[in-house]
Homo-oligomer: A and B are copies of this chain.
Amino acid sequence: MATLIALGSTVAAFPAAAAEIIASKPKLVHHVFFWLKNPGSQADRGKLIAGLRLLRGIPVIRKLEIGIPAPTERRDVVDASYDVSELMFFDNAADQKIYQDHPIHQHFVTSCADLWDKVVVYDMAIVPE
């Protein structure tokens, strides 16, 4: 039988940490779609993805995934015309605003804005399960 023995302050620390994780579950999704000025340009797509990766330096971002159109079934409702996408989770709208104004994000916009022709943003408040 497996046995786990904890000594000192460790036992007390576990429930506290778990409670913190539950309490701070991100409640806001920020999903951005980019259409390049040169659609299909692998070079420009690579530059944009490289720029987006730098956003990971912004502490209020709880999760960041970068993507491209997936090889799913082409249906009328599916918009696969974008070139690059970023999906972020924040704790709340205030943190999203902090991200928006953060120097790293501002630098991303000024250094990469020439690459895209169109941007569409969806901000989604997660409803409780």
Q: Enumerate chain A interface residues (CB-CB to B < 8 A).
A: 1-10, 13, 28-31, 33, 49, 53, 65-73, 75, 77-80, 82, 85, 87, 93, 96-97, 100, 119-127, 129
Show 20 residue pairs from A and B whose CB-CB distance is below 8 angstroms, ordered by the A residue.
A2-B7, A2-B9, A3-B6, A4-B4, A4-B7, A4-B10, A5-B6, A28-B70, A29-B65, A30-B72, A67-B124, A68-B125, A69-B123, A70-B123, A70-B125, A71-B93, A72-B93, A72-B96, A77-B121, A78-B123
In the bound complex, CA of A62 to CA of B75 (Å): 22
Number of copies: 2
In the bound complex, CA of A5 to CA of B119 (Å): 52
In the bound complex, CA of A28 to CA of B70 (Å): 7
Decide: A77 near B119, CB < 8 A? Known: A4-B7, A28-B70, A124-B85: yes
In the bound complex, CA of A41 to CA of B1 (Å): 55
- The minimal Cβ–Cβ distance linking A128 to chain B, given in whole angstroms, is 9
Chain B residues with Cβ below 8 Å from A97 are 72-73
